[in-house]
A and B are shown apart, each in its own frame.
Chain A
Amino acid sequence: MELQSIQTTKVPLDDEKIVALYWERDETAIEETDFKYKNYLFTIAYNVVHDRHDSEECLNDTYLGAWNAIPPARPNMLKAFLTTIVRRVAIKRYHSKLRQKAIPSEMTVSLSELEDFVAGDEDVGAAFDAKRLGRVISDFVRSLSQRRQFIFMSRYYVADPIDAIASDLGLSRSMVNKELAAIRSALQEKLESEGYST
């Protein structure tokens, strides 16, 4: 009997091989990135912008960003590298749309949790030093316990819903809320000590 069909299943490439494709300026790098990380990156974008079409556009901008950055970059962890790009892209789109209307996304909810000291929808001030704030926040995150680091990054970096964080850690929703409350309290103290008015 002849073979009725042949099936092959596509397996994601290793990150190292994908990065090598970028370096070779082989456009299949984008296809492979999309195949491996699309769902993950889409989730992050959607957590921020809460719109399917916008999320798709964020993904496209992310792939373009990766294409432009590699080379010269040669990321150790491609997933983390893409995470930072998709976040930047999604945040930019989020704040741009926010000027026109409210966005009912997890990012909006997570930002509202910080309203005691992060408030106002104005644009970035001319004198604002984002890198300095990044260092301050990095210092703060490092001072947290491992669990609280994870919760902080999940909630405020990639805007994961509370239920997802609770599931990841095997905690109750109320415990995650309590941890977040403790984190916010400590963060406010830290920001005040670094001269950020709250």
Chain B
Amino acid sequence: MANSPFKNYSTLKIASNDDQNGYQLFAAFNSYQKSRMDFLADVTFGEPTIETTKMVFSEVMRDLDKNRILLENISGTSDFNYKFVIRNLTNCRNKKDEPCLEECNCCIVNNKTQKEKDIAVSIPNDILGCHAFYLILENIIRNCAKHGIRKDDIKIYIDFDDCKREDDYYKLHIYDNSEPEKLDELVEKQNKSLNRNILEGNKLRQGGWGLIEMEAAAAYLRKHPLEDINEDDFEVNVEDSSSIYPVGKEAETQSGKPNFLKAVKVHNYYGYRLFLLKPKELLIVYDEKAEEIINQIAPKKGELRKNGIKFVKIDEFHDEALKRGVIYSYPILIFAGTKEHYKDKIKSNESSLPIRQLVCLTDAEYENSRFSFNLSQENFSKVLKQSDVFKILNEVWKAWILRQFNYLGIKINNKTFFSVINAKSNAKEIALMNDGADFVELIKDNDPSVSFDSHAIENCEKICSDIEDVKSYAEPYNSKDYFLIRKLITRYKDYPERLAEKDFQSLLRLIECTGTTIHIIDERIQELAERTPYKPERGKQQTNNKTINEIQYIDLLYATHVIIPYSGSNEFKFLRKTQESEQFNLNAKDFTPIRDKIIIYLRSIIKTTDSHSHTKAKADFLLLHLGVVEKLISSDSDKTYDKEKQIKEFIQNEILEGKKNVDTKIIFISGRGKPHNLPEDFLYLNFSIVAQYCIENRLKYYLNDVVHSAKHI
């Protein structure tokens, strides 16, 4: 590329990233900075609460690779040529007791091999946690450029492997082939620096700040309080490089306390070892009444635990621990036991536990609600008896989807679920089978539909213009952009393609997102969604002289059941016809004239147990900007609220009107760190995480996952 501005950084060769023009490059850089600022704000206030599963290559590294301006310049020199080599050593056939040699290519994860080899990790606070990882990489690149002897053809290896002594973590070695001088001395010096007290004379020490940054980021990635990096429990053993614990604690296993960060020598190169959380897949809480069912699979429990399925007996489930801030960041929970235990331990700690629940009561039939459904003992046994982890998880998710959609009144016939339309409008059908998914040709009918459209927004436009259709779903995607969609929805029409068993869960989560309605009340997202047009990329089938329509994001999101009210502005062309009573400018300085309108609107979108069918008009999740709520409270001079409880009282009395049978989950969003006035049992998400999945990295799949993982602050 003659005019390519990139000389230093050799890319991961991801097509959508390689296709960015200059403006898109700057947009990516600005987005990166914005998220970095949010991360730095978040890191000062406390520990992350949510965790989301991310694929290392196709999500985490892809997003970093997009930021070419950063990667080109971060080294600080103009002649430092480098690239990332990501490797998944967990199942490499060449690995024996030692890590794979650097030349081993069997474990490399790249564009071609990512489908089989990409590795899933659990990242705290989504994009913010990714920035903790990026911070470590940035520091390593800069140190490598500054101190390494070699400057050319630098490879920065990121090796993932299982940790034999800690089931909950992946062990990472990040090292480079820059050949620093006096390697052993360097390793020892850095480890001693890692053990140094951060405070000297009761203030920040001099020197070694880069290591503090990296170690703090490593602690954030493990959801530990940052001050733990200064504790003896996490000191590194300088003498024994293989040890992952402090001196004197080498005999420990499963303590959950391996070192945060340690300087190591890997293949005679300088590097660091840290640990990332393995994904959490399923939490099973049971009492003595359900013990018999659980004991059927007692021999498999250890293996299941290594793969993210955790069993917790009700006695270990302490209210105190939960109220103290322990959060179970699993995507889905199965409870097996008595009604009383469910009420005392699970229901009373909702905001610390998974939102999705399957409830198997041993002494009663469970009454379904929007996010928790009855699971019979027979079905629970059937789940546990599956032969491996993937089959167990697939059964759980299938049970979840079928019950949820039945509750919502979403029609699923026996064979088919929804259709996928390509640019030629040939519909494909996805069927739910026991062990994967088949693709079959189908004639599309006129029922409310779900469609994922490659390079096209016609279905979105249709949905927006038909206000009677409150169920249909349409989401455009660009085939180059999304590894996930490409993996799950094939365009090959000649062969039925069988989905890999390990990807079936992702498919079901994609299906789930089509049945979830999210309402967002946030002035920043409202403004951005109204102003920003979505223009689908030109597909291969489209001729060059055909005009490509645009659609404002606010309408596109509507078609994906993410509802943002119009502000009432005439500046842009919108597709939906809404009542004037449903339009209000959340950016208004004074809320007094629009206060009643907003409150009436909010009341109207609350879903209750007696009106629980699926519709865009009612919210499964209501995302409320805390600032908007505060403005609503202060704009009413007639009412006074208790200062400590005003948010809670306002929500309970004004929005929910004292109702108890509410299905809608209310989540507060804020970008100001951890708000001090948020009621303790209310759900919270960082604004940055929500905003990026609405506009920049718009995909309902991710937004759906994030709202389901919301926890109390």
Partners in one complex: no
